[in-house]
Amino acid sequence: MATPLNPDLPDPKTIGKEYRKTATIFAVRMNHDFEVETLEGRHTAHQGDWLVKANTDCGELWPIADSVFQNTYVSVDQDALPKILEVKAKVDEEVSRARTALIIFGFIAGITIGGIVGFVLGQIL
C-alpha cells in the first residue's frame, strides 16, 4: 500500500520489518521555542521539544518533537545498569528453566504417546 504523500513508494510499515534504534544520544528538553542549524538546513522547534546531539565526534544537533522523542528513546541511567543486569540474569535463568521443562515434557509425552501407539498396535495385530 502506497503512502499518501508518496504514492509510488511502498509503505515500509505494511511490507517492511520493524527495527529499534540502538545508538545513544544526548538530549535536553527545551523550555522555549528554538531554531537549530542541521545538516539538512535550519529547523524550528517548540517549547517542550528536545534538542539532541549525536553521541559521535561530528557533534550534529537536531530537534525532535516531544511526542516522537517519548516514543523513541528511554533514559540511560548508569546507576540502573546493575539492576538491569540483575533482571536480565533472572530472565535468562527462567528461560533456561522453561526450556528444560519443555524438553522433559517432550520426552515424557514421547514415551507416553509411543506407549499408547504400541499398545494399540499390539491389540490390533
Show the domain range for 120: 79-124
Alpha carbon distance 60, 68 (integer Å): 18
Collapse the DSSP code of 14 into the 3-class scheme (helix H, G, I; strand E, B; otherwise coil) and give the result: helix
Same domain, 62 and 96: no
- The answer on 96 and 64 residing in a single domain is no
**Using CA atoms, how far apart are residues 41 and 17, in angstroms rounded to an integer?**
30
- Give the total number of structural domains in the chain: 2
Are 16 and 70 within one domain?
Answer: yes
Is the same domain home to 18 and 72?
yes
Is residue 45 a part of any domain in this protein? Answer: yes
Bridge partners (DSSP) of residue 2 are 10
Please give the full DSSP string across 47-100, using - where no structure is assigned.
Answer: TT-EEEEESSTT--EEEE-HHHHHHH-----GGGHHHHHHHHHHHHHHHHHHHH
pLDDT per residue, tens digit, the chain (125 aa), is 555 666 777 777 777 777 767 677 889 999 999 999 888 889 999 999 999 998 777 778 999 999 999 888 878 776 666 777 777 888 888 888 888 888 877 777 776 666 666 666 666 66
